[in-house]
Structure 1
Amino acid sequence: MSTSHTSPGHGRRSRYGRYTGGPDPLAPPADLTEALDAVAEEVMAGYSPERALQEFLRRGGRGREGYDDLARRLAEKRRELLQQHNLGGTLQDVQKLLDDAVLAERGQLARDVMMDDTDRTFREMQLDNLPASTAAAVNELSSYDWQSTDAREKFEQIKDMLGREFLDQRFAGMKQALEGATDEDRAAVKEMLSDLNDLLAKHRAGEDTDQAFQDFMSKHGEQFPENPENVDELIDTLAQRSAAAQRMLNSMSEEQRQELMELSAQAFGSQDLMDQLGALDDNLRDLRPDLDWSGSAEFSGEQGLGLGDGTGAIQDLAELDALSEQLSQGYDGARSTDIDLDALGRQLGEDATVSARTLAELERAMRDSGLLRHGADGSLRLSPQAMRRLGQSLLNDAAQNLSARTGSRDTRLSGASDEQTGASRPWEFGDTAPWDVTRTVTNALQRSAAEGQSPTGRVRIEVGDVEVVDTEARTQSAVALLVDTSFSMAAEGRWVPMKRTALALHHLVSTKFRGDELALITFGRMAMNMDVDELTALPPVQEQGTNLHHGLLLAERFFARHPSMDATLLIVTDGEPTAHLEEWGEAWFNWPTHPETLRKTVIQLDRVTRRGAKVTFFRLGEDPGLAQFLEQLADRAGGRVTAPDLDDLGAAVVGEYLRFRESGWDEVDWG
Structure 2
Amino acid sequence: MSIPSGGYEYGPYHDGPDPLAPPVDLREAMDEIGRDVMEGASPRSALEELLRRGTPRTAGLDELTRRVWQRRAEIQRNHRLDGTLQDVRRLLDEALAAEREALAADPSDEARFDEMRLDALPPGTAGAVTELAEYEWRSPTGRENYERIRELLGQELLGSRFEGMKEALQQATPEDAQRVGEMLADLNALLAAHAEGDPDIDEKFAAFMREHGEFFPENPSTVDELIDVLAARSAAASRMLNSMTPEQRQELAELSQQAFGDPRIADQLSRLDEQLRAARPGEDWTSSARMRGDDPLGMAEGARAMTELSELDSLAEQLGQSYPGARLEDIDLETLERRLGEDAGVDVRRLAELERELRRQGMLERAPDGSLRLSPKALRRLGETALADVVRALRTGRGERESAAAGAAGEPTGSTRPWRFGDTQPWAVSRTVQNAVLRSASAGSSSVRLDVSDVEIAETEHRSRAAVALCVDTSWSMIAEDRWLPMKRTALALHHLISTRFRTDALQIITFGRYAQQVDLSELVALDGTWEQGTNAHHALLLAGRHLRRHPGAQPVVLMVTDGEPTAHLESDGEAVFDYPPSPVTLVKTLSEVDRLAKAGTSMSVFRLGDDPRLEAFVDLLARRAGGRVLAPDPDGLGAAVVGDYLRSRRA
When normalised by structure 2's length, the TM-score is 0.89
**Residue 462 of structure 1 aligns with which residue?**
none
1:49-73 deviation digits (Å, cap 9, x = unpaired): 1111121121121243222111111
**Residue 7 of structure 1 aligns with which residue?**
none
Query: Unaligned 5+ residue runs, structure 1?
Result: 4-12, 422-433, 443-455, 460-467, 664-671
Structure 1 position 536, deviation (Å):
0.8
CA distance in 2 between counterparts of 1:624 and 1:579 reads 19
**Residue 32 of structure 1 aligns with which residue?**
26
Query: Unaligned 5+ residue runs, structure 2?
Result: 413-424, 434-445, 450-456
Structure 1 position 15, deviation (Å):
9.5
Matches within 5 A, 1:584-599: 584-599=573-588
Q: Are the structure 2 counterparts of residues 153 and 410 from structure 1 closer, same or farther at C-alpha, using a change threshold of 3 Å?
A: closer
Equivalent residue letter for 1:316: E
Deviates more, 1:563-572 or 1:54-63: 54-63
Structure 1 position 122, deviation (Å):
2.4
1:219-247 deviation digits (Å, cap 9, x = unpaired): 22221111222222211111111111111
**Residue 223 of structure 1 aligns with which residue?**
215
Q: Are the structure 2 counterparts of residues 469 and 40 from structure 1 closer, same or farther at C-alpha, using a change threshold of 3 Å?
A: closer
| 1:92 and 2:86 matched | yes
Structure 1 position 420, deviation (Å):
4.8
Task: Choose the corresponding residue for 2:159, options 144, 165, 168.
Answer: 168
Structure 1 position 597, deviation (Å):
2.5
Task: Choose the corresponding residue for 2:59, options 65, 73, 78.
Answer: 65
The CA RMSD over aligned residues, in Å, is 2.8
CA distance in 2 between counterparts of 1:548 and 1:470 reads 39
CA distance in 2 between counterparts of 1:469 and 1:18 reads 49
Equivalent residue letter for 2:110: D
Matched-pair contact (CA < 8 Å) for 1:336–1:363 = no
**Residue 365 of structure 1 aligns with which residue?**
357
**Residue 56 of structure 1 aligns with which residue?**
50
Q: Are the structure 2 counterparts of residues 470 and 189 from structure 1 closer, same or farther at C-alpha, using a change threshold of 3 Å?
A: closer
Residue 142 of structure 1: SS of its match in structure 2?
helix
**Residue 626 of structure 2 aligns with which residue?**
637
**Residue 286 of structure 2 aligns with which residue?**
294
1:441-473 deviation digits (Å, cap 9, x = unpaired): 99xxxxxxxxxxxxx9999xxxxxxxx999997
CA distance in 1 between counterparts of 2:277 and 2:613 reads 74
**Residue 316 of structure 2 aligns with which residue?**
324
**Residue 191 of structure 1 aligns with which residue?**
182
User: Could you tell me the percent identity over the aligned residues?
Assistant: 55
CA distance in 1 between counterparts of 2:633 and 2:12 reads 58
CA distance in 1 between counterparts of 2:105 and 2:460 reads 121
CA distance in 2 between counterparts of 1:316 and 1:270 reads 31
Equivalent residue letter for 2:272: L
Q: Are the structure 2 counterparts of residues 227 and 377 from structure 1 closer, same or farther at C-alpha, using a change threshold of 3 Å?
A: farther
CA distance in 2 between counterparts of 1:201 and 1:65 reads 48
Q: Are the structure 2 counterparts of residues 164 and 617 from structure 1 closer, same or farther at C-alpha, using a change threshold of 3 Å?
A: same
Structure 1 position 17, deviation (Å):
7.7
Residue 257 of structure 2: SS of its match in structure 1?
helix
Matches within 5 A, 1:135-174: 135-174=126-165
Structure 1 position 175, deviation (Å):
0.8
Task: Choose the corresponding residue for 2:74, options 71, 80, 84.
Answer: 80
Corresponding pairs, count? 618
1:115-136 deviation digits (Å, cap 9, x = unpaired): 41x3233222322232221111
Equivalent residue letter for 1:351: D
CA distance in 2 between counterparts of 1:361 and 1:167 reads 43
CA distance in 2 between counterparts of 1:583 and 1:653 reads 32
Structure 1 position 290, deviation (Å):
1.3
**Residue 269 of structure 1 aligns with which residue?**
261
Matched-pair contact (CA < 8 Å) for 1:420–1:469 = no
Deviates more, 1:36-45 or 1:133-142: 133-142
Matches within 5 A, 1:505-654: 505-654=494-643
Matches within 5 A, 1:460-479: 474-479=463-468
Structure 1 position 584, deviation (Å):
2.8
Equivalent residue letter for 2:593: Q
CA distance in 1 between counterparts of 2:460 and 2:381 reads 31
Matched-pair contact (CA < 8 Å) for 1:415–1:513 = no
Q: Are the structure 2 counterparts of residues 527 and 163 from structure 1 closer, same or farther at C-alpha, using a change threshold of 3 Å?
A: same
Deviates more, 1:88-97 or 1:600-609: 600-609
Deviates more, 1:58-67 or 1:392-401: 58-67
Residue 408 of structure 1: SS of its match in structure 2?
coil
Structure 1 position 505, deviation (Å):
0.5
Q: Are the structure 2 counterparts of residues 50 and 415 from structure 1 closer, same or farther at C-alpha, using a change threshold of 3 Å?
A: farther
**Residue 16 of structure 2 aligns with which residue?**
22
Q: Are the structure 2 counterparts of residues 261 and 604 from structure 1 closer, same or farther at C-alpha, using a change threshold of 3 Å?
A: same
1:131-182 deviation digits (Å, cap 9, x = unpaired): 2211111111222221111101111111111111111111122111111111
Equivalent residue letter for 1:140: E
Matches within 5 A, 1:477-496: 477-496=466-485
| 1:204 and 2:195 matched | yes
Task: Choose the corresponding residue for 1:349, options 341, 360, 368.
Answer: 341
Structure 1 position 601, deviation (Å):
2.1
Equivalent residue letter for 2:515: M
Residue 518 of structure 2: SS of its match in structure 1?
strand
Q: Are the structure 2 counterparts of residues 206 and 595 from structure 1 closer, same or farther at C-alpha, using a change threshold of 3 Å?
A: farther
Residue 134 of structure 2: SS of its match in structure 1?
coil
**Residue 374 of structure 2 aligns with which residue?**
382
Structure 1 position 662, deviation (Å):
0.8
Residue 58 of structure 2: SS of its match in structure 1?
coil
CA distance in 1 between counterparts of 2:305 and 2:579 reads 65
1:97-121 deviation digits (Å, cap 9, x = unpaired): 1111111111111233xx41x3233
**Residue 430 of structure 1 aligns with which residue?**
none
CA distance in 1 between counterparts of 2:648 and 2:261 reads 97
Matched-pair contact (CA < 8 Å) for 2:604–2:623 = yes
CA distance in 2 between counterparts of 1:162 and 1:546 reads 81
Task: Choose the corresponding residue for 2:117, options 126, 135, 146.
Answer: 126
**Residue 393 of structure 2 aligns with which residue?**
401
Q: Are the structure 2 counterparts of residues 296 and 471 from structure 1 closer, same or farther at C-alpha, using a change threshold of 3 Å?
A: closer
**Residue 36 of structure 2 aligns with which residue?**
42
Q: Are the structure 2 counterparts of residues 458 and 23 from structure 1 closer, same or farther at C-alpha, using a change threshold of 3 Å?
A: closer
1:285-315 deviation digits (Å, cap 9, x = unpaired): 1111112111111111121111111111111
Deviates more, 1:588-597 or 1:164-173: 588-597
CA distance in 1 between counterparts of 2:512 and 2:211 reads 79
CA distance in 2 between counterparts of 1:124 and 1:80 reads 46
Residue 636 of structure 1: SS of its match in structure 2?
helix
1:356-409 deviation digits (Å, cap 9, x = unpaired): 222222222222222122222222221111111221111111111111222233
Q: Are the structure 2 counterparts of residues 210 and 440 from structure 1 closer, same or farther at C-alpha, using a change threshold of 3 Å?
A: closer
Equivalent residue letter for 2:537: L
1:517-557 deviation digits (Å, cap 9, x = unpaired): 00011112221211111111112122222222221121122
When normalised by structure 1's length, the TM-score is 0.87
Matched-pair contact (CA < 8 Å) for 2:230–2:276 = yes
Deviates more, 1:237-246 or 1:326-335: 326-335
| 1:105 and 2:96 matched | no
**Residue 330 of structure 2 aligns with which residue?**
338
